[in-house]
Structure 1
């Protein structure tokens, strides 16, 4: 005679479920923050771009793709995009080149080198608005820089009010503000390069430039990719420097996309069109980041 055995019921509180709950608990703050502060605002911006929202008149009317058609017909937009491209390209090239140069120079075992590292990094922790206000006084027609140039017999230009120097001035101010961050990243990468590679290259008779080109650059290429993404994305989001130094002038020579967005939404109260410009900015940042990430297979040593 055989007796049927009842299958043992699997307990609900298993190790797998506990591990899953623990994992979801750890990622929940980041996930909630992404949904609340990124995805929902992005969806609302797209919804607002389909409307004409006039706060002063208390009107909120659906207009469909009218704002996007206005975007294509906007006569100021090509000049704004050109100014944004010039600022981003100038900032990225100058910032990364200077940061890499400083990192190479400061990657030395010399007495007092920590003082110089701290000196070059200190502007990063200074308030952005305070930094920009100080530079606005220095770059005035009768400011400190022109006063110094006059002492040596040079008549300096009105840096922030002439089309030929306004954009250059804004770029230089931003480079001096943030070059220390990229410098620290490059310095950390340089210190991770095995010294045996340089010793072997010197034994083979490689010059300092060939060592830099064939060893240093490939070994720190992941950091170069990281800094390029950070720098370019940050350059497309610049606002305070433009607002304090030039207010987008002279003309629209320094009116970058973020400042133009601010003008349309908060000065002219075209919130619908301002939201459309926000969508354009998001797409530009996303495309540039995607392109840079795809290029990693060609420029990053560890991806080869």
Structure 2
């Protein structure tokens, strides 16, 4: 009988010690992440909450804020300019993302082999990524200038009429897309280079023995294995495309005829030109919900085309 009592006491004591260690580990973990959590709370969560409250008010830059509920969201949905802005944003994203991914993957396939001087070329391709976005946009704005731009000068040499690239509603958006692709293609190229290094060479050797050509090797071996990298690069590129602002601000100011006015420029215009802070905050949250929903859809569909080693 006494042995049973001692066993129960020892078991209870061991359980208490285990709970104590778990509590100590939990406390230590919270202490380690507390600086980052405090920073996120002060500089992210609180401002986001305040911005959401602002979106529910009529908040002029100077003056008293008035709570209006969802009136700002209703006004945005009914605003015909917002429809044009969203259309421009979708057109820009649809033009940039496939071109960026295709060009980055092509460059990565060309640069993955250790050829002399290839490191320098990789560096050259990555330099635009670390170049100031404003400086990049200014340079390309002058290159596409109507009278003395580099592009029109080259066209004149081969007998092609000069174009008003940034003042033509049909040409302005393609110009912005091209300059944006060249600016950020190096980042995805590096991601694809890292993904290609994970492809085992013995798979290519086995495929060559079976008579598979380069295209079949790429389609059946390379693409499936680097599909997680493609998925990551696609999400990053889409989010970046929907947040474009600097190129539009520097090169076109949303023109001509609002043909390049995207949603972030629309938000900036409402907040810092018209001083409709509550309206702009509501537009910003609409953008957030769109990106969040699109990311969730992509994440839910990833299993259909993203390769899983398991």
SS of 1:164's equivalent? coil
Distance 1:191 1:11, change over 3 A: closer
Selected match of 1:239 from 230, 239, 245: 245
When structure 1 is superposed on structure 2, of 219-228 and 127-136 the one drifting more is 127-136
Selected match of 2:130 from 125, 137, 151: 125
Query: Is the Cα–Cα contact under 8 Å of residues 297 and 303 in structure 1 kept in the other structure?
Result: no
2:35 pairs with 1:35:
no
Q: Partner of 1:226 in structure 2?
A: 232
Tell me, which stretches of 5 or more residues in structure 2 are unaligned?
none
Distance 1:15 1:270, change over 3 A: same
2:189 pairs with 1:183:
yes
Pairwise CA distance, 1:148: 1.6
Q: How far apart, CA to CA, are the structure 2 residues paired with 1:75 and 1:25?
A: 51
- Which deviations, in whole Å up to 9, do the C-alpha atoms of 1:237-266 show, x marking residues without a partner? 111111001000001111110000111111
Q: How many residues align?
A: 301
Q: How far apart, CA to CA, are the structure 2 residues paired with 1:53 and 1:186?
A: 45
Q: Partner of 1:282 in structure 2?
A: 288
Selected match of 1:257 from 234, 254, 263: 263
Query: Is the Cα–Cα contact under 8 Å of residues 296 and 303 in structure 1 kept in the other structure?
Result: no
Pairwise CA distance, 1:151: 1.7
Distance 1:303 1:68, change over 3 A: farther
- Which deviations, in whole Å up to 9, do the C-alpha atoms of 1:157-209 show, x marking residues without a partner? 11111011100111111111110000000011101100000000000011100
Q: Partner of 2:175 in structure 1?
A: 169
Q: How far apart, CA to CA, are the structure 2 residues paired with 1:200 and 1:215?
A: 11
Q: How far apart, CA to CA, are the structure 1 residues paired with 2:307 and 2:223?
A: 9
Root-mean-square deviation (CA, aligned residues, Å) is: 2.1
Tell me, which stretches of 5 or more residues in structure 1 are unaligned?
none
Q: Partner of 2:150 in structure 1?
A: 144
Q: How far apart, CA to CA, are the structure 1 residues paired with 2:309 and 2:117?
A: 37
Pairwise CA distance, 1:31: 2.3
Pairwise CA distance, 1:8: 7.2
Selected match of 1:60 from 42, 51, 65: 65
Q: Partner of 2:21 in structure 1?
A: 15
Q: Partner of 1:82 in structure 2?
A: 87
SS of 1:76's equivalent? helix
Pairwise CA distance, 1:26: 2.6
Pairwise CA distance, 1:271: 0.9
SS of 1:160's equivalent? helix
Q: How far apart, CA to CA, are the structure 2 residues paired with 1:279 and 1:13?
A: 43
Q: How far apart, CA to CA, are the structure 1 residues paired with 2:205 and 2:35?
A: 48
- For normalisation by structure 2, the TM-score amounts to 0.92
SS of 1:302's equivalent? coil
SS of 1:227's equivalent? helix
Pairwise CA distance, 1:43: 1.6
Q: How far apart, CA to CA, are the structure 1 residues paired with 2:283 and 2:72?
A: 9
Q: How far apart, CA to CA, are the structure 1 residues paired with 2:37 and 2:220?
A: 42
Selected match of 1:97 from 99, 102, 110: 102
SS of 1:205's equivalent? coil
Selected match of 1:111 from 103, 116, 124: 116
Pairwise CA distance, 1:130: 0.9
- Which deviations, in whole Å up to 9, do the C-alpha atoms of 1:255-292 show, x marking residues without a partner? 11000011111101111111110110000110111111
Q: How far apart, CA to CA, are the structure 1 residues paired with 2:105 and 2:55?
A: 41
SS of 1:220's equivalent? helix
